Structure 1
Amino acid sequence: MKAFKYILLIAIISFCFACSKDDNDNNQQNNLQNFSSSICNGITGPTAAYWDNSHGLAVPLAQIPTLANPGQQFIHSQYPALGFTMPQGYSAQEVTDAQTGTLGVNVFRNDNNVVWRYLPTSSFVGQVQINDVVAFELNQIMQFHGFNGTPEVLCTTTQQSTEFGFLTTFGARLIRFGNFTALLTVQTHFMQSLGNTFVSVSLASGPTAEYNNLVRQTYLPIHWQLLVISDEVRDSDLDGTPDHQDPAPFNPNIN
């Protein structure tokens, strides 16, 4: 009888966990689907949330975004802090350039229709104009997807500030070209005393028809893995459910 009560208690607890997770998932999807950008008119849904998030603005996430289908892990050989798990069907290309001190990664879906690119650091002699970096990155991704025309610019941002002796410029573009959408953010830091410009780049491109789903299922989950994650939201078994919501956090077959 005691064993039966124990099994019943476990079943109730598991049911509550499942309901809580389903509620959070539904709330998150609804919040993202109904989101409107506060800094770019005319874009809504997950794409708008991704645009605002790229500017450091809060977005309505009910829980930490995690991968539903974890695949391979990537760890940069020269910079182990740049490490994350990709979705299944994706592969990573390490980026390293000793001449410019560039470190980063390109992530490709196996059909080459989706790209996630992150370069946390590059260094160039002299003052580099942010529009030159933006143009280079956008031309490169459009060529990769086989587009040679003029893109439609949906949102654009350029901001400048001076802190700690650095002239910092932030630029972002959300564009559509052919059947694709891409969101690019670039940050440059020019330190006059050194005569160098430090550049960081983040880019996510994919088919326009899939872009909202890619934001939810790929871009945001990878991005959040690069943040400092506490034990409460760590996904130890990589089953797509954070430990604090997972009834069996070390068993990938139970989530």
Structure 2
Amino acid sequence: MKLKNLLQLAFALLVISGCSSDDSNNGNNNLNNFTTNLCTNVSGPTAAYYANGHGVALPLSQIPTIANPGQQFIHNQYPQLGFTVPQGYTAFETQIGLGVDVVRNDGQVVWRYVPGLSSLNQVNILDIVAAEVNQIFAHYNHNGNFTVDCEQNFGQQQGSFIINTSSRLIRFGNITAQVIINSYFETSLGSTFASVSVASGPTAEFDNLVMDVFLPIHWQLLIIDDNVRDSDLDGTPDNQDNFPFDPQRQ
């Protein structure tokens, strides 16, 4: 099976597994008071972002957008992985797996998405979580204690796939970091496919980062109606834009 097809299948499974509801949704368009039964230790945009990572719809009246568009990123091997980052941020292709790291120029904020991790063997999802958390620690040069505010582990089987989700919301020093891993073990092939989503930044800024950076980037990757998707933020929907990733041309 080609990598593109595997990624499409993985995303489809994510959509299917994310169609659940959460009665903690506060039913209005203000995330300041948002709470979720998935984690009672946090509230507001931080809780909303954690819940949304588990497929919980958010009470937003409009699609989050980048207020100060900067670099346009398009992955060299997977053009569907393309979006605009805010000014002051730089996007890099990941060295391992098919993905992208978005880093604020001061190095204090990271948004990481890797939809294309694969192994010919069965891989324990907790090993992936540990690797991502250790990478976060290495980025911030942290080797001390940390607090786990939220933790979820789910597993189910769909056909020949064993699907697992594992998530963490942790704090260390002045940093908050969210890690969400989805893995798919194909029993007939004996192979593991995984997607990684990470967001980290100063705890004092995290709510604002959710609203101004993390959600706006995340929303650009969703499969949504072409009538509202505007990848290059030039005011022309992608289905009417001959150059959907170039804000200077339509």
| TM score, norm. by length of structure 2 | 0.80
Identify the residue that residue 70 of structure 1 maps to in structure 2: 69
Identify the residue that residue 45 of structure 2 maps to in structure 1: 46
State whether residues 100 and 113 of structure 2, in contact with CA within 8 Å, keep that contact through their aligned partners in structure 1: yes
Secondary structure in structure 1 of the residue aligned to 2:94: strand
Identify the residue that residue 92 of structure 2 maps to in structure 1: 93
Secondary structure in structure 2 of the residue aligned to 1:200: strand
Task: Tell me the alpha carbon deviations over residues 133-161 of structure 1, each in whole angstroms, 9 at most, x when there is no partner.
Answer: 10110011011112101210000000000
State whether residues 232 and 242 of structure 1, in contact with CA within 8 Å, keep that contact through their aligned partners in structure 2: no
Deviation, 1:45, is 0.5
Partners of 1:130 and 1:53 in 2: how far apart?
20
Deviation, 1:125, is 2.2
Identify the residue that residue 219 of structure 2 maps to in structure 1: 224
Identify the residue that residue 136 of structure 2 maps to in structure 1: 141
Sort the Cα spacing of 1:173 and 1:56 in 2 relative to 1 into closer, same or farther, 3 A: same
Identify the residue that residue 172 of structure 1 maps to in structure 2: 167
Secondary structure in structure 2 of the residue aligned to 1:142: helix
- More helix per residue: 1
Partners of 2:129 and 2:78 in 1: how far apart?
24
Partners of 1:174 and 1:131 in 2: how far apart?
14
Task: Tell me the alpha carbon deviations over residues 1-52 of structure 1, each in whole angstroms, 9 at most, x when there is no partner.
Answer: xxxxxxxxxxxxxxxxxxxxxxxxxx74xx1111112211121100000011
Partners of 1:92 and 1:155 in 2: how far apart?
27
Sort the Cα spacing of 1:242 and 1:196 in 2 relative to 1 into closer, same or farther, 3 A: same
Sort the Cα spacing of 1:138 and 1:236 in 2 relative to 1 into closer, same or farther, 3 A: closer
| TM score, norm. by length of structure 1 | 0.78
> How many residue pairs end up in the alignment?
211
Secondary structure in structure 1 of the residue aligned to 2:227: helix
Partners of 2:79 and 2:52 in 1: how far apart?
25
Deviation, 1:229, is 3.4
Residue 193 of structure 1 pairs with residue 192 of structure 2: no
Q: What runs of 5+ residues in structure 1 fail to find an aligned partner?
A: 1-26, 244-251
Partners of 1:36 and 1:194 in 2: how far apart?
40
Sort the Cα spacing of 1:126 and 1:217 in 2 relative to 1 into closer, same or farther, 3 A: same
State whether residues 94 and 104 of structure 1, in contact with CA within 8 Å, keep that contact through their aligned partners in structure 2: yes
State whether residues 41 and 150 of structure 2, in contact with CA within 8 Å, keep that contact through their aligned partners in structure 1: no
Partners of 1:142 and 1:242 in 2: how far apart?
40
State whether residues 66 and 242 of structure 1, in contact with CA within 8 Å, keep that contact through their aligned partners in structure 2: no
State whether residues 65 and 220 of structure 1, in contact with CA within 8 Å, keep that contact through their aligned partners in structure 2: yes
Deviation, 1:193, is 1.4
Identify the residue that residue 121 of structure 1 maps to in structure 2: 116
Secondary structure in structure 2 of the residue aligned to 1:233: coil
Partners of 1:38 and 1:69 in 2: how far apart?
33
Secondary structure in structure 2 of the residue aligned to 1:232: coil
Question: What value does the CA root-mean-square deviation take over the aligned residues?
Answer: 1.8
Sort the Cα spacing of 1:242 and 1:176 in 2 relative to 1 into closer, same or farther, 3 A: farther
